[in-house]
Amino acid sequence: MYRRLQGLLWGSLVADSHALGVHWIYDQERIRKEYGLIEELLPPGTKYHPGKVAGDFTHYGDQTMWLLQSLDQNKGWNRDRFYLEWKVKMGKYEGYHDHASHETYDAMMTAGGFSAGSMSTELGGAVRIAPLLFYYYNDPNCLTYVEEETAMTHRSQKIVDAAQFLARVVMMVVDGVQPVDAIEKALTDLPKNNTIAPLITKGLQASSQQANDVIKHFGQTCDIAHALPSSIYLIQCFEESYALALEANAMAGGDSAARGMFVGMVLGAYHGIDGIPKDWIKSLRAKESIEKIMGGKKITRA
């Protein structure tokens, strides 16, 4: 079980770095011609990630690392402490500032206490939770922590629901449930008329093996209406291979980082750390920092 816990954390972060090279390139033909099959971690091919090099993270992965470091330094989740840490880090951050980060940071600078995040519906707000699941996957407070971390920057109910749905799926997969079965079970457990349920169903019903066509049809953007069904589709289509799922995700273009972190977390938990290409892990520039934090975390549940 511990290797699955390792897999969910590494799987999420590696997926973000794997997407960096073509992140926000929407032209699928350009990706195919310029990059071929993306089988390694690459430097960014757009202007959106200045100063980044191969093995770095996008802004999603960077914020996930902030959470991992906070859990390590504070010996667990501390919402108010992370609020302050996030504000300081974002104020100095030289990476990409998306709309949700801008809006959240501005609110933090004017609010006297914990302020609500943006109403952004970008899936990226729901996929930074791997550190919380690594620390708390079977803790009764885990879903509460997931909601608090997500709502800090993304208070849209759709995004909070997506984060908690993802958490439920990953926790089942860590316990040995196959990914698609876990998705279907978590879907049936959603309240009636839940707004993300149709998006999950849409992804499950896509049967084509042509990932580029499916994701282009669903939409390549970061909005949950496009990115969530695309992520579900990639999991059900490539359930048996972490690497193939992430390669198909990158080749499909658009916001491959948010989709990748969602898919990577689930399939990383399913296949465990041994199912993630060793060269991809080795190429992460934050590899030693992650290993140090994971090595210092006392695991009492596996």
Q: What is the 3 state secondary structure string of the chain?
A: CHHHHHHHHHHHHHHHHHHHCCCCCCCHHHHHHHHCCCCCCCCCCCCCCCCCCCCCCCHHHHHHHHHHHHHHHCCCCCHHHHHHHHHHHHHHCCCCCCHHHHHHHHHHHHCCCCCCCECCCEHHHHCCCHHHHHHHCCCCCHHHHHHHHHHCCECCHHHHHHHHHHHHHHHHHHCCCCHHHHHHHHHHCCCCCCCCHHHHHHHHHCCCCCHHHHHHHHCCCCEHHHHHHHHHHHHHHCCCCHHHHHHHHHHCCCCHHHHHHHHHHHHHHHHCHHHCCHHHHHHCCCHHHHHHHHHHCCCCCC
Cβ neighbours, 10 Å, residue 132: 26
The pLDDT > 90 percentage for the chain reads 92
- Residue 141: the pLDDT is 97
- Residue 295: the pLDDT is 85
- Residue 301: the pLDDT is 39
What is the chain's mean pLDDT, rounded? 95
> Is the per-residue pLDDT at 298 higher than 50?
no
| CATH number for the domain whose boundaries are 2-296 | 1.10.4080.10
The per-residue pLDDT for range 7-56, each reduced to its tens digit, is 999 999 999 999 999 999 999 999 999 999 999 999 999 999 999 999 99
> Is the per-residue pLDDT at 302 higher than 60?
no
Band of the pLDDT at 112, cuts 50, 70, 90? low
Where in the chain are the domains?
2-296
> Is the per-residue pLDDT at 113 higher than 70?
no
Q: Are 286 and 68 in contact (CB under 8 A)?
A: no
- Residue 111: the pLDDT is 76
Band of the pLDDT at 297, cuts 50, 70, 90? low
Read off the pLDDT of each residue in 282-298 and give the average, rounded to a whole number. Answer: 89
Read off the pLDDT of each residue in 124-130 and give the average, rounded to a whole number. Answer: 98
> Is the per-residue pLDDT at 115 higher than 80?
no
The per-residue pLDDT for range 43-82, each reduced to its tens digit, is 999 999 999 999 999 999 999 999 999 999 999 999 999 9
The per-residue pLDDT for range 174-191, each reduced to its tens digit, is 999 999 999 999 999 999
Band of the pLDDT at 95, cuts 50, 70, 90? very high
